[in-house]
Structure 1
């Protein structure tokens, strides 16, 4: 049975680092929204930033990534979805789609205190290491921060939880 690993958490919590480690451990395919967004739309990002423009492209990428993940799962593979999963409805939808195809869906919730997450994002902007895809400005951080919906106790009941 194939598995979809949903990596959820607020920005700067360590999701991408965790996803890289999990994909290596599971011999799975890591599908990163940030990588897709940077590769497909990075050169076209409007200045100043336009949240509506970005969110429409995020939606397009997420749809394509999900279709690919379901195909990986259907072939018996493991897909590590590094998509943030900021909204409860999005997490529920992916779990329902996986179940409908007979796939396992495992939620991984990664969290850290807000001050540490801000510091990590600022450091990632400077270092441009393996999990950097594009700069997250303080304004972007705040806008994205307000969109995150923490997992419910029901969601966390069978989740892998890592707090750093």
Structure 2
């Protein structure tokens, strides 16, 4: 059975470092929109293009899982609905999904963000204190049941299933 590893956490939590380790350890394909956004569009949130890119990367992830490859999805996935949709999509192609949540305390987060900006400014964008606080305000921390991969939530009202929800959330998802 193939596995989709889903990275979850705020900026500076160490998701990409862990994603790289997992990809090497499992000989998995690693998909990280941050590594595509800056070279393609000059920013991480360029006029809704991130959602479009993430949709295409999810489509590639499912194709790779069907072909027998493990995949590491390094999106951050701040919302429970996003995480549930991705888990559902992985399971819909016969793969398992293993969530990797990396919590980070505020001081460590700020230090890592500052270090990243100081050492690799061409690979990242500056984050203001307001950006950091906004991230904390919008992040839905996974609970123990979600981390254990227990029952999937039903799709939100108005959606036939998580695939339909995903197609709305990530407009290029096929």
Q: Smaller-chain TM-score range?
A: 0.7 to 0.9
What TM-score, normalized to structure 2?
0.78
- Report what 2:105 is aligned to: 113
- Report what 1:155 is aligned to: 146
- Report what 1:48 is aligned to: none
1:89 has 2:81 as partner: yes
- Report what 1:37 is aligned to: 37
Unaligned runs of 5+ in 2: 151-174
Q: Give per-residue Cα distances to partners, 1:16-55, cap 9 Å, x unaligned.
A: 000011100010111112112112211xx4xxxxx9x647
Q: Check whether the contact 1:9–1:86 (CA below 8 A) recurs between aligned residues.
A: yes
Q: How does 1:69-84 map to 2 (within 5 A)?
A: 69-84=61-76
Distance in 2 between the 1:136 and 1:95 partners? 31
1:64 has 2:56 as partner: yes
Deviation at 1:76, TM superposition (A): 0.7
SS at match of 2:138: coil
Distance in 2 between the 1:37 and 1:113 partners? 26
- Report what 1:135 is aligned to: 125
Q: Residues 8 and 125 (structure 1 numbering): CA distance in 2 closer, same or farther, change over 3 Å? A: same
Give the number of equivalent residue pairs: 149
Q: After the TM superposition, which segments of 4 or more aligned residues of structure 1 sit over 4 Å from their partners?
A: none
Distance in 1 between the 2:135 and 2:41 partners? 18
| 137-146 vs 112-121, which moves further | 137-146
Distance in 2 between the 1:39 and 1:63 partners? 18
Deviation at 1:99, TM superposition (A): 1.1
Aligned-residue Cα RMSD (Å) equals: 2.0
Q: Give per-residue Cα distances to partners, 1:82-125, cap 9 Å, x unaligned.
A: 10011100000011111111111111111121111111001100
Distance in 2 between the 1:23 and 1:100 partners? 22
Distance in 2 between the 1:88 and 1:158 partners? 12
